Structure 1
Amino acid sequence: MKNRLEGSLQRSVSDWKIKRKRSTREGKQVPRAVVDDITPSVPSGSHHKQPGDHIDARSKVRKLLQLYQATYRKLKQVKEQGIPIVGRIYLEAAKAVKKDPVYTKLGAIVGNVPGVEVGDEFYYRIELAIVGLHRLYQGGIDTSKVNGVPVAISVIASGGYPDELSSSGELIYTGSGGKAGSNKDGSDQKLERGNLALKNSIETKTPVRVIHGFEGESRIEVGGGMLARGPKGEMVFKYKLQRIAGQPELTLHAVKAIRKSKIREGLCLPDISQGSERIPICVINTIDDMRLAPLKYITEVTYPTWCEKEPQKGCNCTNHFSDPIRCACARKNGGEIPFNRDNAIVKAKRLVYECGPWCRCPSTCYNRVSQHGVKIPLEIFKTGKTGWGVRSLGSISSGSFICEYTGELLNGEEAENRQNDEYLFDIGRNYYDEELWEGIKSVVDVQSSTSSSGTMKCFTIDGAECSNVGRFINHSCSPNLYAQNVLWDHGDMRRTPHIMLFAVENIPPLQELTYHYNYKVGSVHDENGNEKVKHCYCGASDCRGRLY
């Protein structure tokens, strides 16, 4: 599993204590880091923005990271196909980001990085540099000068040294240098460069960003330090860093507490699917006494008697890796497999064809992803303003499949006559960021292909009476998921593709999952022709205030 980074701001408080941490290269996956009071982000609302438009800091960070992740997924797929790539994948992906008009090279930043939030997750060191969180590709201590004095502005506790983070927010951080390598013995650390800068941060009370090698970032107050002996007798510096009060709780602590608890706080149902999903989906309410209304849980769309599913021609592939040149399913996808070998969707398309029951390939085929159902530990929870929502107890990487939106299939007339229109999903009217792919073309020397799907007829999935966990995923004007049309068990591409939800960015644990409902303001009317108004409470910085 990929590592993630999360962090916070802290100050060193008392002793300098020392731990060891391994250096991570710019392209290496780093242990997830936790950030407090500092926020790594991805573009919220970038879908509606033109490159020259002003966007807020959070949206800018999200857009840059989404672009990096999408480019990386595509380049990884290209390399998997045996097509040579000039440079390293992570560097080429970073080049794409730096060519985007939204990218701005940042200098040293002391304290909060605009647009980065506590708990944001990063999978690669180079992502930290892109958003200005930690500029060094390898070094663990990033420094700058304040009033002519070198101070530490960020550190990465990646696990290479025995750093310790307690639930109280105190981190014992080991200085840099002196670590034994394959061809050299360990030596005493010296009070220079990053070690000296950390000492100066104590004396000047300069807050330091901490990116934890497992989940996020936070601010720390650097207190004091001391010289101690390492495991082989070498002298090492250890710093005691104390998390600054008032920051959000680190999700790693919240998730650990949940997993350790014998009785889950606010548990309403242990598994709403009643065993029909491979992973139990619990229902949690810590807000009030409301309980979930009864729902017939189904894992597949219910088709009416008038709907006859058309069979589709399958491929003749016999192994788990479909050849994009010879595979019939790849040809339907425009000559490429829609997923890379991490089972991540590479880009949004009008229609994706997965291998299906008429194909000779095994169930482990890389072109069979969403048909296998939910694999992420999802849970339904009561939100503060938007009713019930969905989140995950685990980290979700960009491009991951989340779940299908299931329900009863209706034709247009049937959908219009439904009294409860809260859970109607019109097939073929999905919303995703088309601009995101445009920034990748300058780096990836392959054509952007689209499958020939034709014009989709107006059919709707109604999740009011029977549905699955997808029914509870809320709208956001700046979503972290998108809806993708997928065909795999039939060939009726014009009427009834499956609605599959995928992650558009890295999503940390306990963050609400959302997608864009794609309503247009003024487009919904009642039976008398009067315009209906539904307000939006998603809380996004670019929220338009109304769903319709």
Structure 2
Amino acid sequence: MTNSELRINMNKKLGPVPGVEVGDMFYFRFEMCLIGLHSQIMAGIDTMTAKFDNENDVVAVCIVSAGVYDNEDDDVDAIVYSGQGGSAGKDDQKLERGNLALERSLHRGTEIRVVRSAKDFTCQNGKIYIYDGIYKVHESWVDKGKAGFNVFKFKLLREAGQPEGIAMWRKTQKWIDNPSSRGSVIIPDISSGSENIPVCLVNDVDYEKGPSHFTYVTKVKYLSPINLIKPLHKCMCQNVCLPGDKNCLCAQQNGGDLPYSSNGLLVSRRPLIYECSGSCPCSVNCRNRVTQKGGKLKFEVFKTKDRGWGLRSWHPIRAGTFICEYTGEVMDKFRVYDYGEENEYIFQALTDGNTLKWNYIPQLLEELDVSQSSEAPKPLPFAINAKNMGNIARFMNHSCSPNVFWQPVQHDHGDEGYPHIMFFAIKHIPPMTELTYDYGLSKGDLGIDYSNGAGSRWTKKCLCGSSKCRGFFG
């Protein structure tokens, strides 16, 4: 992406960076570099030369507290940041480079972006970086480091009126360790033990005690017979399937490679994914067994201010992570119209073209017209009704700028017309961010004649609040 000049916000600036919100998280330092949040790949202090009253001065624009130095960051509204230099604690630090920039920022009263780190052992480096918003240097001094040499210290205070960043992260970590500490809980587990991890029901908005009654199920129910007898593919891998193995039938079914990375992340969206089935001799630890194992995140169903009930996670969610399956009663898509507009719990495989090529490399590198590339997903002949029975997926609301997309997956039968509908994260999703997907627009996919105007009753006003909101969906 760097070689292709696809970095953005390359001109340094003080204050917020366009497109970056407080609470956004990053798994690699270079992610921050690509978007212009922090241009230094290794150094913790990013600087620039700015003009103040016709005088040039060097100031800090962003700092990263990565837990390498003796920074004091227990306070969510303040941080004591250790300066750079000193040959890894072998001599005194000097008032130069980043240290000088922070000192001049104190003098000039300029805004500084602050990125904090948090432990996450699901990552290779054991940490995640969280953008915590705008701070200002309040004071500075020289102190003795652990090795006995002089170290510059800078105390930064967080500007008021910003959304929660690291504070939300630490709050949800406490809830994960002790779920009873989460307030406003109506039901500790709406799945009644059906899910691997309990799903709590929460209302911080009003006094409503919960959604209308439904039966919680973790698997789809087929109302019409499907060809379950047709076997799914079967590989002959004795331990685990390996990427690039030309003898692995599962890999060949997926276009010659496996759809998931070694840590279980979806590599890119595909028309249909084939996971290893029960007939495959490979172990349960095979990287091609992801969605069939169920979710591993701590979810809560919560009351929104204006869109009924919604879904969010206490855990951070990395892009490509499996979230959940859409369960309910599988029915012929031509019966959708019979249920009327009062049923808001029907999944239909409508077109959401913005994510059809998610993480598609030629598109990312702007090498190919997406409309003319690769194969399009096959129209699905069914819909899923989750009004009477379903799982957490029924609570995901629509958004014109979604953070989740649906992906057809096969793992237990060979009828390609009836795959499982699995949801994955489009991007990194911070804790307590509502999970949404694009309900789509195309009515023609349903195979119903709307020429008489009857289809207009399906169109709903969109309340997603996105800057790219279409104004309606359905």
Q: What TM-score does the superposition give when structure 1 sets the normalisation length? A: 0.76
- For residue 272 of structure 1, the aligned residue among 160, 178, 190 is 190
The equivalent residue for 1:296 is 215
- For residue 165 of structure 1, the aligned residue among 38, 60, 73 is 73
Give matches, 1:36-435, under 5 Å. 94-95=2-3, 98-99=5-6, 103-104=7-8, 106-147=10-51, 148-167=56-75, 169-180=77-88, 186-214=90-118, 215-250=130-165, 251-256=168-173, 258-259=175-176, 262-292=180-210, 293-304=212-223, 306-309=225-228, 310-322=230-242, 324-419=245-340, 420-427=342-349, 432-434=355-357
Equivalent pair of 2:350/2:440 in contact (CA under 8 Å):
no
Equivalent pair of 1:221/1:244 in contact (CA under 8 Å):
yes
Equivalent pair of 2:25/2:430 in contact (CA under 8 Å):
yes
Cα distance in 2 for residues equivalent to 1:519 and 1:535? 12
Secondary structure of 1:165's match?
Answer: coil
Secondary structure of 1:439's match?
Answer: helix
Secondary structure of 1:366's match?
Answer: coil
Greater relative contact order (CA < 8 Å, ≥ 6 in sequence): 1
- For residue 461 of structure 2, the aligned residue among 514, 535, 538 is 535
CA shift in 2, pair 1:188/1:212, >3 Å: same
Cα distance in 2 for residues equivalent to 1:389 and 1:173? 38
- Following TM superposition, by how much is the alpha carbon of 1:340 offset from its aligned partner in structure 2, in angstroms? 1.1
Q: Does 1:546 align with 2:461?
A: no
Name which of structure 1's ranges 459-468 and 253-262 shifts more when overlaid on structure 2. Answer: 253-262
Secondary structure of 2:102's match?
Answer: helix
- Following TM superposition, by how much is the alpha carbon of 1:547 offset from its aligned partner in structure 2, in angstroms? 1.0
Equivalent pair of 2:351/2:442 in contact (CA under 8 Å):
no
Equivalent pair of 1:167/1:253 in contact (CA under 8 Å):
no
Cα distance in 2 for residues equivalent to 1:545 and 1:186? 61
Identity of aligned residues (%): 37
Secondary structure of 1:241's match?
Answer: strand
- Following TM superposition, by how much is the alpha carbon of 1:222 offset from its aligned partner in structure 2, in angstroms? 0.5
Secondary structure of 2:454's match?
Answer: coil
Secondary structure of 1:464's match?
Answer: coil
Name which of structure 1's ranges 407-416 and 432-441 shifts more when overlaid on structure 2. Answer: 432-441
What is the count of residue pairs matched by the alignment?
A: 443
| Ranges in structure 1 where 5+ consecutive residues have no aligned partner | 1-92
Equivalent pair of 1:332/1:353 in contact (CA under 8 Å):
yes
Q: Does 1:507 align with 2:424?
A: no
Q: Does 1:485 align with 2:408?
A: yes
Secondary structure of 1:210's match?
Answer: strand
Cα distance in 1 for residues equivalent to 2:169 and 2:112? 20
- Following TM superposition, by how much is the alpha carbon of 1:187 offset from its aligned partner in structure 2, in angstroms? 1.2
The AA in structure 1 aligned to 2:43 is: G
The AA in structure 1 aligned to 2:290 is: V
Equivalent pair of 2:8/2:36 in contact (CA under 8 Å):
no
Equivalent pair of 1:227/1:235 in contact (CA under 8 Å):
yes
Cα distance in 1 for residues equivalent to 2:376 and 2:45? 51
Cα distance in 2 for residues equivalent to 1:176 and 1:266? 44
- Following TM superposition, by how much is the alpha carbon of 1:402 offset from its aligned partner in structure 2, in angstroms? 0.4
Secondary structure of 2:316's match?
Answer: coil
- Following TM superposition, by how much is the alpha carbon of 1:261 offset from its aligned partner in structure 2, in angstroms? 7.4
CA RMSD, 1 decimal: 2.6
